[in-house]
Amino acid sequence: NAGVMQNPRHLVRRRGQEARLRCSPMKGHSHVYWYRQLPEEGLKFMVYLQKENIIDESGMPKERFSAEFPKEGPSILRIQQVVRGDSAAYFCASSPLAGGYQETQYFGPGTRLLVL
Amino acid sequence: AQSVTQLDSHVSVSEGTPVLLRCNYSSSYSPSLFWYVQHPNKGLQLLLKYTSAATLVKGINGFEAEFKKSETSFHLTKPSAHMSDAAEYFCVVSDPGNDMRFGAGTRLTVKP
């Protein structure tokens, strides 16, 4: 059973470009969470999704950031018009049950975004 | 609202000696508490989880943590450090219905 997969592992963008980060949850998992980790900091929650549904986006910046988890395919975190402050590691996690945040989350290896 | 404080940003131990990584939490409810480990350039791996069952929780790789409600603590321990334990460790708290809150992390260094 493959773990949570994220791609790309590393992404370099120039200011103003778009970044698309993909996350495939573990097989059988229908809940996906996105986190951002800035250098020397812990992870900060961004958004919690189920298939075709955003459950909690209280941690998402109000502008330029969006997330989706379509019926088919991976979850996508999109950052439009990136700025240098978006440089961070973005982690995706998935969980299998409907228990929400208190269920164990399984993390992917992360995507490291560098904005030049 | 829940929050978590990891009291040490960096801990250094010698191989074979005990490890203690300290974590205090704030929660209005009966929280779930987790410890995750992150090796360089890797994702996070769950070490152990507390969910109101036994207060002493045993995890993988010889780690354990004790939930102490009176002290609002959830310290992580290991009797004997191994070189492969060198990593970043995160304490996490989650109240029912709320997202997971991560501590700032403790970097563990293990000296030969």
Chain B residue with the nearest C-alpha to that of A48:
B99
How far, in Å, CA of A51 to CA of A69, rounded?
Answer: 5
How far, in Å, CA of A47 to CA of A44, rounded?
Answer: 10
| Cβ contacts of B80 within 8 Å, gap of 6 or more | B16, B17, B18, B62
Mutate which: B100, B101, B106, B107, vs A, most A CBs within 10 A: B100
How far, in Å, CA of B108 to CA of B106, rounded?
Answer: 6
CB-based contact A13:A113 (threshold 8 Å) = yes
What confidence tier does A105 reach under pLDDT thresholds 50, 70, 90? confident
What tokens does B93 get?
């708290």
Q: Does B51 touch chain A (CB under 8 A)?
A: yes
Q: Is A59 exposed, middle or buried (0-12, 13-18, 19+ CB in 10 A)?
A: middle
CB-based contact A1:A68 (threshold 8 Å) = no
DSSP A4: -
Average pLDDT, chain A: 90
Q: Could you say which of B42, B46, B94 has the minimum Cβ distance to residue A109? A: B42
Pairing of strands A10-13, A111-115: parallel
CB-based contact B104:B7 (threshold 8 Å) = no
Q: What is the pLDDT of residue B13?
A: 97
What confidence tier does A102 reach under pLDDT thresholds 50, 70, 90? low
pLDDT in tens, A37-68: 987 778 899 999 998 899 999 899 989 999 99
pLDDT in tens, chain B (112 residues): 678 999 999 999 999 999 999 999 998 777 889 999 998 877 889 999 998 778 899 999 999 999 998 999 999 999 999 999 999 999 999 877 777 889 999 999 999 9
Segment (H or E) for B5: strand B3-6
